[in-house]
Each structure stands twice: as C-alpha cells, then as structure tokens.
Amino acid sequence: MRLYFSSKLKKNLFPILTISITMIFVLYFLLSNGGVQNLGEILLRLRWEWLALAVAAAGGTLLLEGYTLNLFCRHVCPWWSFGRSFSVGMTGLFYSAITPFSTGGQPMQIYAMNKMGLDTGKAGSIIAMKTLVYQAVMVLYSLLLVSTQLGFFQRNISNFSFVTMIGLLSNSVFIAAVLTFTVSAGGTDRVLRFLLRLLYRMRIVRHPVQRYQRIHAQLSMFHKSAGIMGRSFRLYFTTAILTALQITVNSLISYFIYLSFALPPENISVVTMVAAQVFVAMVSAFVPLPGASGGAEGSFVIFFGKFFGQDIVPAMFLWRILTYYVNIALGCFFSAWGGKRYAQRGDAALREGRGKRE
C-alpha cells in the first residue's frame, strides 16, 4: 500500500506542486489584505442569482471550447463526436493550467486525439489552426477594446499603454509570421534566418541555430496544417465568431461576480469590465509559472481594484476558483474519463470512418 501511494505521489508530483504554489499566492492575498474578513461580510449580502450566472458563464466557456474544437475535428473527420472534442478540450485546459507558459496543453491534446483514433498529422493540424484562430481573434478583440477603453485605463492603470502594446505586438508578430509562412515558406525562412543573425550580432540571441530550429519546426507545423485543413472560409469564419463569443462569456465572469457582491451597477460599464478581463489575460500570459501564478492574481487586483475597492481580494478569490481551479478539477476528470471511454473505441471508430468515406 505504501509503495502504491508513493508511486502515485511521484506520478502526480508536478500537478500537486502547481496547485500548492497557486494556493499559496491566493492565501497570501486573502490573509495579508483582510480578505477573509471581507469575504465573510460579502457572504451575508451575496446575491446568489448573479453568482449562479458567473458559474453558468464558466460552464459556457468550457462548452464553447469543446464545440469550437469539434467544428475543426469534424471538418477533417466526419465521424468525430462532441464528447471526444469536449474531453480533448478539457485535457488541454488541464495541462495548460499545470505547465509553465501553458506549454503542455496542445501536445497533450494531440496525444489524446491520437489515442482516440486520429492520426498525429490531422490532430496536429486541428490544434494548430484552432490556436491560430484563437490568437488572431484575441488580438483583434483586444485592439477593439483598446480603441474604445484606452482613456479609462490610462487614467487608472500605470504603464497601461506599455504593457498592452507589448502584448498586442508579440501576438501580432506571431500571427503575421504564421500567415506569411503559410503563403511562402521559403520567403519566411529567409527572413527568419536574417533576423536571427541580426539578433546574434546584437548579442540579444545567444544560440541562433537552436532558436531557429525551434521556431522553424513550429512554423512548419502550421504550414502543413493549412494544407490538411484546406481553405474553408465558412469554417474559419464560424470558429472565429464562436471564439469571440467564448472570450466574451469568459470575461463576463468577473462582471457577474461584481453584481453578486451587491455593488452599485451604475458605477461601472460592462464593456469596461470585459476589457479589463481581456487585459488581465494578456498580462498573465507573460508569467512563466504554471497557471500564471502570482501574475494572474496580481493583474486582477490591479485592473479590477478600481471597481471592487476593498472587496477586491474576495473577488479575485472567487474569480480564480471559477476560471482556474474548476478547470483543473474538471480537466483532470475528463482527461482520465475521455481517455478510457474513447481510446477503447478509437480503432473501431477509425475503421468505421474510413468505411464511410470509401
């Protein structure tokens, strides 16, 4: 029995450490800023109907993740089911939450899809193109919000313009490189070599060859993916709309938490709070720790402190539960459940799908 628990502990050591680190940050905010006392006072005046809407928004975000992924999957494999897509989506959220820079989500999604009967090439193309659509929509969404809410955040958030521009610029460069590589792989490769040589001479990049190999491999994956997925305007337009809806629904969680605290709604704008949530996501992306630990909590306090005032720490605590810890719990469950349920039927489904196409 002791050996069994010891092996289980070693196998799950990294997730346990990840959750422990994030909990330390949350407890620090709660205990150092009077958050526990404020949370007790808020529970006495809490409006449960608005909190229920916050929970529903969190659930809607997960369903939209699965449905959008399912559209990409069915475009390549008509026999693919929503249950598979939802399980793969939750697997991605789980491993993104427990790995630095969210690096583990996409590889584990490809692995899970392969176990369910989808070959690695198609699985990689699906995940790559979905990632590209999400990044593109996030940049356009952020640009729209910056253009309408820039004045408010410049007045209330120090260094807001600098942080926002860095986030938008880095994402825009990534998208532009991928799109250019899709059209002209050779031209993009020459530009990449030139930039890395320049950065090496400027002593900004120390190992240009290794950096080139990593970037080239990632861009090559997108290039191959574009060929497999094809150029379906309807698919990309539909998934872009659904992605924008998913970002909006997820960003409304903090707004519903605000209303559940029985704070005056006339003092805030729902568009401004949605913008604040999107900016929190952009800032948190720079934090290398799993789940953006520390950065997510800190940026939420900075961006939403103007709205919540002395209730900011309990608000951050509830927001973190709904957008992070719930994802870990459900992601862990559906990752294990989907792996057992669909992996056993993967070969049969694959044969059935091939039979239908023939």
In a domain, residue 326? The reply is: yes
Q: What is the pLDDT of residue 82?
A: 95
Q: What is the pLDDT of residue 259?
A: 93
In a domain, residue 30? The reply is: no
Mean pLDDT, consecutive 10-residue stretches, the chain (358 aa), reads 46 59 64 60 82 96 96 91 94 85 78 87 84 88 84 76 68 69 68 76 73 71 66 89 96 95 80 90 69 73 87 88 90 88 60 47
Residue 251: other Cβ atoms inside 10 A: 25
Q: How far is CA 141 from CA 163, 168, 326, in A?
A: 16, 10, 25
In the structure encoding, which two tokens stand for residue 124, read together?
């990689």
Read out DSSP for 225-268? HHHHH---HHHHHHHHHHHHHHHHHHHHHHHHHHHHTT--GGG-
In a domain, residue 2? The reply is: no
In a domain, residue 84? The reply is: yes
Interatomic CA distance for residues 168 and 143, integer angstroms: 8
In a domain, residue 281? The reply is: yes
* Alpha helices (H) along the chain: 2-11, 13-32, 35-45, 48-76, 82-98, 105-115, 120-156, 160-183, 185-201, 208-229, 233-260, 270-284, 295-308, 312-320, 326-343, 346-357
Q: What is the pLDDT of residue 85?
A: 95
Q: What is the pLDDT of residue 139?
A: 85
Question: What are the backbone dihedrals phi and psi of residue 109, each rounded to the nearest 5 degrees, phi first?
Answer: -65, -45
Interatomic CA distance for residues 151 and 328, integer angstroms: 36
Residue 189: other Cβ atoms inside 10 A: 16
The total of structural domains in the chain comes to: 1
In the structure encoding, which two tokens stand for residue 127, read together?
């995940």
In a domain, residue 13? The reply is: no
Interatomic CA distance for residues 233 and 140, integer angstroms: 18
Interatomic CA distance for residues 76 and 46, integer angstroms: 47
Mapped onto helix, strand or coil, the DSSP state of residue 55 is helix
Q: What is the pLDDT of residue 293?
A: 64
Q: What is the pLDDT of residue 317?
A: 85
Closest among 141, 331, 170 to 246, alpha carbons compared: 141
**Structural domain for 286, as ranges:** 48-292+305-357
Q: What is the pLDDT of residue 279?
A: 85
Work out the burial of residue 39: count CB atoms within 10 Å of its CB; fewer than 13 is exposed, 13-18 middle, 19 or more buried.
middle
In a domain, residue 40? The reply is: no
